[in-house]
């Protein structure tokens, strides 16, 4: 088989790239090692920057998003028992959109299926070959049969544990990583959200976040130890911990119920440079990870897709490789700004095990400055809604 672009990974970034290219007449094959049902069972965040919303529209999959999403005009930040708001709309005239990552992926799957574009589920033993040459190809196994796809380019959208980044020689890669000494315990519950906007809370006992999926489905998180197991956390313990970390007025309004999903996620910051090697281009978690505090994971993947999509269009339509040649430079410039913002949000909202009394005072001063300074709020708003591509 031959195609123009092989996309390794059928998550949202790979599917978005494939749909954008398909609408411009560029042939792609998507390889996904899991089933469609498994991919759509993953529970992920759903805060979308306007850049991603625009890309979904350009990909022709924005109708349901537009009809069913929620607009978040700002956020609330609590420190101990005090809370203040940051209104993005008032500060910079922009908002973020709440629409689950699972729904983004579902819309893209439905569009690819309708278009009849190739996607191979349960592709095993995927290997990338000659990516640093003018004739790359990908091999894999399907139903026990060895298969090969020759192509012009490979897009590695297969996540942190995928094969794409590891296909770049270690001598070529430079990796930067910070592992945080705590995790997030998150639950999904069929309860009304405690507030229409997200609430980020820094309490003396640790971080908490109140989020939502829709008017009757809530997503809540509490900071926990990396040594914790989900089995250690009954629903009762979770709700008691969450309520204790929120301002009294919020805790009293909290509606609790049985959890329908519960998991613990470790937090890390990670970047691998460069994001291009020959004809291989890394997108999303294959190249970088951010802690979820700044809601940047899916959005940084979307900006990668934007730069790669534009570069491929320039190559195929204008016979110009400038966009591809500068892909890694452009993508990384924005990635590092998102890394900085996510690191900053994480540092001011969590309790770290080695914090001294001085550190705690500095954290409190940072939050007070954010509360009292419109300029500081404007900077946060600009980063939260998403820097321009």
pLDDT at residue 80 in the model: 87
Instruction: Judge whether residue 43 has pLDDT over 90.
Output: no
As a whole number of angstroms, the distance between CA 324 and CA 331 comes to: 11
As a whole number of angstroms, the distance between CA 352 and CA 226 comes to: 12
Instruction: Judge whether residue 143 has pLDDT over 80.
Output: yes
Backbone angles phi, psi at 274, to 5 degrees: -80, 175
For residue 183, what is the DSSP state?
E
For residue 294, what is the DSSP state?
G
Instruction: Judge whether residue 98 has pLDDT over 90.
Output: yes
Return the domain boundaries, the chain.
5-74+96-177+268-345, 180-267+353-385
Q: Which residues of 335-370 are buried (b: 16+ CB within 10 A; e: fewer)?
A: beebbebbbbbbbbbbbbeeeeeeeeeebeebbeeb
Place of tokens 């691998």: 272
- Average pLDDT of the residues in 97-103: 94
Instruction: Judge whether residue 367 has pLDDT over 80.
Output: yes
pLDDT at residue 46 in the model: 87
In sequence order, the 6+-apart residues with CB closer than 8 A to the CB of 329 are none
Q: How would residue 168 be classed by pLDDT, with cut points 50, 70 and 90? A: very high
pLDDT at residue 331 in the model: 98
pLDDT tens by residue, 318-347? 999 999 999 999 999 999 999 999 999 999
pLDDT at residue 71 in the model: 94
pLDDT tens by residue, 81-92? 899 999 999 999
- Average pLDDT of the residues in 140-167: 98
CATH classification number, 180-267+353-385, choose in 3.40.50.10420, 3.40.710.10, 3.30.9.10, 3.40.50.11610: 3.30.9.10
pLDDT at residue 23 in the model: 98
Instruction: Judge whether residue 42 has pLDDT over 90.
Output: no
Instruction: Judge whether residue 249 has pLDDT over 80.
Output: yes
pLDDT at residue 175 in the model: 98
57 beta partners = none
pLDDT, averaged across the chain: 97
- Average pLDDT of the residues in 163-186: 98
Instruction: Judge whether residue 47 has pLDDT over 80.
Output: yes
Instruction: Judge whether residue 36 has pLDDT over 90.
Output: yes
pLDDT tens by residue, 202-246? 999 999 999 998 899 999 999 999 999 999 999 999 999 999 999
As a whole number of angstroms, the distance between CA 7 and CA 25 comes to: 15
- CATH architecture of the domain 5-74+96-177+268-345 equals 3-Layer(bba) Sandwich (3.50)
Between residues 14 and 45, the one the model is more confident about: 14
As a whole number of angstroms, the distance between CA 193 and CA 334 comes to: 32
Instruction: Judge whether residue 45 has pLDDT over 80.
Output: no
Q: Dihedral through CA 151, CA 157, CA 160, CA 164, nearest 10?
A: 10
Give yes or no on whether 5-74+96-177+268-345 and 180-267+353-385 have one common fold: no
Instruction: Judge whether residue 44 has pLDDT over 80.
Output: no
Catalytic positions are: 72, 200, 292, 296, 384
As a whole number of angstroms, the distance between CA 51 and CA 170 comes to: 33
């Amino acid at each position: 088989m031959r195609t123009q672009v092989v996309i390794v990974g059928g998550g949202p970034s790979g599917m978005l790239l494939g749909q954008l290219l398909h609408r411009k007449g560029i042939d792609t094959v998507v390889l996904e090692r899991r089933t469609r049902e498994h991919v759509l069972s993953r529970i992920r965040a759903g805060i979308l920057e306007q850049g991603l919303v625009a890309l979904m529209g350009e990909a022709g999959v924005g109708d349901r998003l537009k009809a069913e999403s929620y607009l978040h005009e700002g956020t609330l930040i609590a420190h101990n028992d005090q809370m203040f708001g940051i209104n993005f709309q008032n500060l910079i005239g922009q908002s973020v959109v709440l629409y689950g990552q699972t729904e983004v992926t579902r819309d893209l799957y439905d569009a690819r299926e309708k278009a009849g574009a190739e996607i191979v589920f349960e592709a095993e033993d995927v290997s990338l070959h000659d990516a640093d040459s003018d004739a790359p190809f990908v091999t894999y196994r399907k139903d026990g049969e060895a298969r090969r796809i020759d192509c012009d380019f490979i897009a590695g959208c297969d996540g942190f544990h995928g094969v794409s980044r590891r296909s770049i020689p270690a001598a070529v890669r430079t990796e930067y990583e910070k592992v945080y000494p705590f995790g997030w315990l998150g639950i999904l519950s069929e309860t009304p959200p405690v507030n229409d906007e997200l609430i980020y809370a820094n309490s003396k006992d640790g971080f908490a976040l109140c989020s939502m999926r829709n008017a009757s489905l809530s997503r809540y998180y509490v900071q926990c130890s990396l040594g914790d197991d989900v089995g250690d956390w009954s629903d009762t313990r979770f709700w008691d911990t969450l309520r204790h970390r929120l301002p009294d007025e919020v805790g009293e309004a909290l509606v609790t119920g049985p959890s329908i999903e519960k998991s613990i996620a470790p937090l890390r910051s990670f970047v691998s440079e460069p994001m291009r090697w020959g004809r291989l281009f890394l997108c999303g978690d294959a190249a970088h990870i951010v802690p979820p505090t700044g809601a940047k994971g899916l959005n940084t993947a979307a900006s990668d897709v934007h730069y790669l999509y534009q570069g491929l269009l320039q190559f195929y339509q204008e016979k110009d490789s400038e966009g591809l040649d500068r892909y890694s430079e452009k993508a990384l410039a924005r990635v590092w700004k998102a890394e900085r913002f996510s690191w900053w949000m994480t540092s001011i909202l969590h309790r770290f095990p080695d914090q001294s009394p001085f550190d705690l005072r500095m954290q409190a001063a940072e939050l007070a400055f954010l509360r009292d300074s419109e300029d500081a709020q404007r900077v946060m708003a600009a980063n939260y809604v998403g820097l321009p591509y």
